Amino acid sequence: MNTVSDVPVDWLALESAFENNAANVRSYMHTVTGDVLRVVDGTAEPGAYTRIATDPLFIQVTPIGSREQFAWMELFIKTVKDPELRERLQCSVVGQGAFRRFKDAVMAHPEKAEWITLRRTKIRNAMDSWLASLSLRPVPRDGGGASAECRAKDAMMRLPKEDFVSVVAALAAKRCLKCGEQRSACVCKPKRTSAKSPVGDTKGAAE
C-alpha cells in the first residue's frame, strides 16, 4: 500500500505543464517542493538536466495529448447555442491549425465563458487524477515565496468540484461571485470613483 505524501503544488506551473504538449518541451514536478521545471530542448541550461537526472524526486509530467484536447473542442461544439458560432467552430477544427483557428473563433464570442469553464474543468480533473495516481495530496503552497496569483489559484483548486466549476464560469463570464451580475453592473462593492479618494483603498495604495 502506498503512503500518501503532501506536496505544495505550484498549480499555475503544473497547469501550464499539463497544457503544453509541444514535442520539444518536457516538464518535471518535484514531489516534495512542488516546484515544476520546464525543459525546452536546445535552449535549456545544462544545470536543469543535471538537477532532474540526479534528483529522483523529480517526476516527469505527462501533458494532455492533442487528441484529448481535440476531443474537448468537439464536445464543446455540440453544446454551442449560437448556430452561427457552432457552424464556424465546426469548420475551424478541420485540417491543419485547428487549435489556433478554434481558439480565435471561440475567444471572440460571448460563449467563450462556457469553453473556458469546460477546458479549466478538464485540466483540473487531469491534474487531480495524476496527483492521486502518485499518492500525492496537494497542500497549500504558502510561505513568503507564493505570489498572490499563486495563492488565489491554490484557493480555487481546493474548492469542491461543483464550486470550482461555478467560480470558473463566473470569472470567465466576468460575473460577480456574490450576486451573479456582470461586474460592471454589480453593487456589492462600492466602486472606486477616482484616484482622488484613496482613503480605505489599501490595494491601490502601493501601486
Minimal distance, residue 160 CB to Zn ion, in Å: 22
Looking at 44-178, list the stretches that DSSP marks H as alpha helix, in order from N- to C-terminal side: 46-54, 66-79, 83-92, 98-107, 112-133, 148-157, 161-172
Minimum CB distance to Zn ion smaller for 136 or for 168: 168
Q: Helix, strand, coil % (nearest 5) of the chain? A: 50, 10, 40
- The grid coordinates of residue 60 equal 516527469
Q: Which is nearer to Zn ion, 78 or 189 (CB)?
A: 189
Establish if 159 lies at the interface with Zn ion (CB under 5 A).
no
**Of 150, 122, 113, nearest to 35 (Cα)?**
150
Contact pattern for Zn ion over residues 165 through 184, marking x by CB under 5 A: -----------x-xx-----
* 12 near Zn ion, judged by CB under 5 A: no
Smallest distance from the beta carbon of 203 to Zn ion, in angstroms?
17
Residues 45-104 binding Zn ion (CB under 5 A) are none
Count of C-beta atoms within a 10 Å radius of residue 9: 25
x/- track of binding to Zn ion for residues 98-137 (CB under 5 A): ----------------------------------------
Do residues 58 and 28 touch, judged by C-beta distance below 8 A? yes
Segment interacting with Zn ion (CB under 5 A) among 8-16, 61-69, 146-154, 188-196: 188-196
CB of residue 136 to Zn ion, shortest distance in Å:
36
Structure letter (DSSP) for residue 63? P
- Residue 185 or 205: the one with the smaller Cβ distance to Zn ion is 185
| Position 155 contacts Zn ion (CB under 5 A) | no
Using CA atoms, how far residue 127 sits from 11, 31, 197, in Å, is 9, 14, 44
Instruction: Judge whether 62 and 130 are in contact, CB under 8 Å.
Output: yes
CB of 173 to Zn ion, least distance (A): 13
Q: How far is the CB of 94 from Zn ion (least distance, A)?
A: 41
The reply to whether 188 sits near Zn ion by the rule CB under 5 A is yes
Does 186 bind Zn ion (CB under 5 A)? Our answer is yes
Rg of the chain's alpha carbons, rounded to an integer? Answer: 20
DSSP secondary structure letter of residue 109: S
Size of site (CB under 5 A) for Zn ion:
5
- The residues of the shown chain that bind Zn ion, judged by CB under 5 A, are 176, 178-179, 186, 188
